[in-house]
Structure 1
Amino acid sequence: MRLSELKKGEKGIILRVHGHSLLRKRLSELGFVSGKTIETIRFAPLGDPVVYKILDSEISIRLATASLIEITLP
């Protein structure tokens, strides 16, 4: 399952981050690492970007980027 598939209020556990190395590095610096729990907080009015809660921080990323993050449901 991909992070972009989560509905508002749902949680998931990150399994893997796909994409080129610079993007993976930047996401890992923001806390998107394997084993961390992530929750969808809210969507922008037009549906993109999306705000996610991870490591007590709220981070907004685009759906295209969220589709590169593989998750599983807890």
Structure 2
Amino acid sequence: MNLRLPDLAVGQRGRIVGFEPGQRDYRQRLLAMGLTPGTELVVSRLAPLGDPVEVRVRGTAVSLRKGEAAVLRVERLD
């Protein structure tokens, strides 16, 4: 089941499966940060109002704004 990144809770793992269509600018930025399809990540922190969200990916902490995070389509890993 494909979800958006903000749908994952703190501590949950996911794998990037793609991007929302029509979000070319953000997609290029996310790809440059190493957030490519097939990459696993863990949601490590979430601000009180949900913005930003911090994920650990490839051994690095990356903070994303809510709008940027919503571009990522992920599958939950158990």
State the TM-score, normalizing by the size of structure 2: 0.85
Q: Deviations over 1:47-66 (max 9, x none)?
A: 31011111111000012211
Give the alignment's Cα RMSD to 1 decimal.
1.3
How does 1:35-74 map onto structure 2 within 5 Å? 35-74=38-77
1:73 partner SS: strand
User: Number of residue pairs matched?
Assistant: 74
Specify the code of the residue in structure 1 equivalent to 2:10. Answer: K
More divergent stretch after superposition (13-22 vs 47-56): 13-22
Specify the code of the residue in structure 1 equivalent to 2:24. Answer: S
% same residue: 31
Q: Structure 1 residues 20, 7: CA separation in 2 closer, same or farther (over 3 Å shift)?
A: same
Contact 2:26 2:71 survives alignment (8 Å): no
Q: Partner of 1:5 in structure 2? A: 7
Structure having the higher strand fraction is 2
More divergent stretch after superposition (54-63 vs 13-22): 13-22
Contact 1:17 1:33 survives alignment (8 Å): no
More divergent stretch after superposition (58-67 vs 18-27): 18-27
State the TM-score, normalizing by the size of structure 1: 0.89
Distance 1:52 1:61 in 2: 8
Unaligned runs of 5+ in 1: none
